[in-house]
Amino acid sequence: MAIPNIVSVSSIYGTTVNSVLTTTLTTTLVTAASDKVHKMNLIRCANITDNDATVTFDQEVSGTHKIIANEITVPANSVVDIIDKSNGFYLQETDLIRGGCSAADTVDCTISYEIMDDA
């Protein structure tokens, strides 16, 4: 396993995944494939109910979990960007993003990223 050299990438694939957050923080939302790096551009949370909810996201790096956002309030019937292109970060091979919500089926989550490969 080698981390791709992002100076000489041979391909960049734009990807978006959508999830409904549950009350389990250990739910994996994105996993970077071996020999790839993901440039995380957006984590957007849309509260689809009439009640406020909180969301938490973490990143697993080599088996260690670090909080990206902890108990961020997403007001009723509104949208909150946890990260956007101005404060994105890289997810290296086999690292992952997990997320959860204070109430199941309350928040829809959209994650947008670029998969980079130097093969």
CB neighbours of 103 closer than 8 A, spacing ≥ 6?
23, 49, 51, 53
Output 1 or 50, whichever has higher pLDDT: 50
What CATH number is given for 8-117 in this structure?
A: 2.60.120.340
Tens-digit pLDDT profile for residues 48-89: 999 999 999 999 988 899 999 999 999 999 999 999 999 999
Task: Determine how many CB atoms are found less than 10 A away from the CB of residue 41.
Answer: 19
pLDDT at 1 over 70: no
115: pLDDT confidence band, cut at 50, 70 and 90? very high
- Which value, to the nearest 10 degrees, does the dihedral of the CA atoms of residues 93, 36, 3, 81 take? -60
Give the start-to-end residue ranges of the domains of the chain. 8-117
